[in-house]
Amino acid sequence: MMKKLIFELCLFALSTGSIIAQNAYSELNVKTEYITDVQNSRDALFINAQTWANANTTKRITSIETSDKGTGTLILKTSSQLPSTKGINYYSKINVQMNVKIDCRDNKYRISYSNFTSTVQSDETIDFQYLGISSLREMQKELETPIRLATDDFGKEVYWGYDQIIAVKQKYLEQNQKFKNEITTFEASCKKKKKEINLNNKRIAKNEMYINYLDYILRGFEHTITDLQKSIDKAMNICDGF
């Protein structure tokens, strides 16, 4: 009964919602636009881009929004699952989504990445009925972080936009700075102040969990862009000449 209750509570809390758009990507440590020179015609590059898209429709691409040979433009919606990591994404599935725009011109192409969002849900492939109590407690602890973030900071949604993630991360960074500043003003010799210091340290540790979780998603955007770029570049540089 306890196992079922914990699992159902986690599933209930991780309900779905609506996507919110984003604009600026200054927190990402990779470029979101790449222009590459290559010896190939616009039409040939567009065919290469189409071939790559068709080969990835069951892996990374969720939809082809635009495919215009006349302008040499291809716009794709993509989704990638982040790797499992103990303590953050072991009992859950975090997916990152983004738009990829490929513009083809004679002897060059441009790839732009935008509209970054993430989704999280519990991993339904895990048979919780066979998990021990310690594993169930690990699962509960891991899922408490996205549940708490969704409840307190994302309007009970599990679709989080880039701008939202940055704003929430900044909120917790500012809170931690405030708690640290308070600690420096407390007199450690005073018993009451010692309790306040301990309380602030606990608050800081809790906020660090939230910050690390959000950073994991941001780094996931970066790794996904890098992987997509390598894969597309490989396809785009195929030439049918002798």
Give residue 88's identity as a one-letter amino acid code: I
Q: How many CB atoms lie within 10 A of CB 32?
A: 17
Q: Tell me what pLDDT residue 43 has.
A: 95
Q: Residue 19 is which amino acid?
A: I
Q: CB within 8 A of 110, min separation 6: which ones?
A: 33, 34, 35, 36, 101, 102, 103
Average pLDDT over all residues of the chain: 86
Structural contact between residues 80 and 116, judged by C-beta atoms closer than 8 angstroms: no
Q: What is the pTM of this model?
A: 0.85
Cα Rg of the chain (Å, integer): 22
| Per-residue model confidence as pLDDT tens digits over 38-69 | 999 999 999 999 999 999 988 899 999 999 99
Phi first, then psi: what are they for 167, rounded to 5°? -65, -40
Please give the chain's pLDDT, 242 residues, in tens. 444 444 444 544 444 333 333 346 889 999 999 999 999 999 999 999 999 999 998 889 999 999 999 999 999 999 999 998 888 988 889 999 999 999 999 999 999 999 999 999 887 777 777 778 887 888 888 889 999 999 999 999 999 999 999 999 999 999 999 999 988 887 666 766 888 889 999 999 999 999 999 999 999 999 999 999 999 999 998 765 54
Q: For position 18, what pLDDT does the model report?
A: 34
